[in-house]
Amino acid sequence: MVGEGIYNVLQTSDHLHGEVVKVCIKDAQKKRNAPAHLFTTQKQQLLHDSSIDVIIELIDDAESAYHICKDALKAGKSVITANKKMVAYHLCELIELEAKYGGTFLYEAAVCGSIPVIRTLDNCFDSDSIKELHGIVNGSTNYILSQMSQKEESFEDVLRTAQEKGFAESDPTLDIEGFDASFKLSILMLHAQGIIVDHSQIFRKGIESISAFDIAFAKKHGCRIKLIARIQCSDSECFASIIPTFVPDTDQLAHVENELNGIIIQSGLSDAQVLVGKGAGRYPTSFAVLNDLTALAKKHKYSYNKRKAGEYLRFQADQVIQCYLSHHKPIDLPDKAFISISDKYEGKDRSYVQGKIKLSSLKRLLKQHPQLSVIQFS
């Protein structure tokens, strides 16, 4: 669907001057709204065609996408992709291939849909130190949490509706367990701080255990629950996490609802900058891909200027956070797991504990009790 939208824009736009030479497809029997001679099921026809200088990769198979992008860059072609998992897994190698063979590798659509966050970081914060970057980078989870709050329905019911409306996949694991957000955050780490961090090193807790009890607790305390991706840095260390978070109603991110994404960039010179927009879907993704195509026509490349500074930053995987853990009775959470406990509640159907805890200790608790609901205080 994204590919069809891009094709239509290229046929009608007065601003973009490009020719679609060939389109590689998986299902040759599917009817498509373009001339039949454009289509092939053989990717090598595109990779070996010297008249094709740009490959736009839009498939959902990360491993196949990697081989397409790698082979295209090796052939000296430029590549535009929206595949965040593929980019997160292979970013370092693909950057090296870009430099070695002379193509250009752009992937704005892989992170926050229509929000130009990579280009903003690359162009506008090139000479400014970023103290913190945090926000909502997954539209599916934000839709679910928004609907749970607005309609007071269960996680399961809202997820089912999200799947019916196309806001969540039939297998929603990558979204609701925070994997999608961790892929995106590892990409943002490079552009914000100049360091490449494997997504598996980032502390990740998704929304799969959030209950109606938790939503009610948040409302009672003037907050909304959002899945927040966060990068925090000092002069020598950098930390990243994906954790459901109590966001006060007075915070701008509290009002980023449904499938919208929102990013706040806190820098040394410009204070806080807020970016909000559609984070996923056919048209937002098409918008981001076409912007990359426009940038490519202007010979734009990511600068990666912060990589040298990033060599002096140490990635810190552990941190003390103030959080709320809720659970069904009976689960005995050991007090010794916490640095300190500020509140406890035991109810008939659900209980909670609030306190300070190291993420390493929280990881151990989650291995023992994976159904714990974890929400950080912002």
Q: Are 248 and 221 in contact (CB under 8 A)?
A: no
Catalytic site includes residue 184: yes
Residue 1 pLDDT exceeds 70: no
- Three-state DSSP string of 62-91: HHHHHHHHHHHHHCCCEEEECCHHHHHHHH
Which entry of 43, 84, 85, 184 is annotated as an active-site residue?
184
Output the pLDDT for position 282.
Answer: 77
Residue 11 pLDDT exceeds 80: no
Provide the whole-model pTM: 0.94
- The mean pLDDT of 166-190, rounded to a whole number, is 93
Output the pLDDT for position 71.
Answer: 97
CATH topology of domain 320-377: Alpha-Beta Plaits (3.30.70)
The closest of 188, 88, 93 to 133, measured between CA atoms, is 188
Q: Where along the chain do the CATH 3.40.50.720 domains lie?
A: 2-106
Superfamily name with CATH number, domain 118-274:
Dihydrodipicolinate Reductase; domain 2 (3.30.360.10)
Output the pLDDT for position 145.
Answer: 97
Q: Where along the chain do the CATH 3.30.70 domains lie?
A: 320-377
d(CA 266, CA 133): 6
Output the pLDDT for position 215.
Answer: 97
Summarised one tens digit per residue, pLDDT across range 196-237 is 999 999 999 999 999 999 999 999 999 999 999 999 998 889
CATH topology of domain 2-106: Rossmann fold (3.40.50)
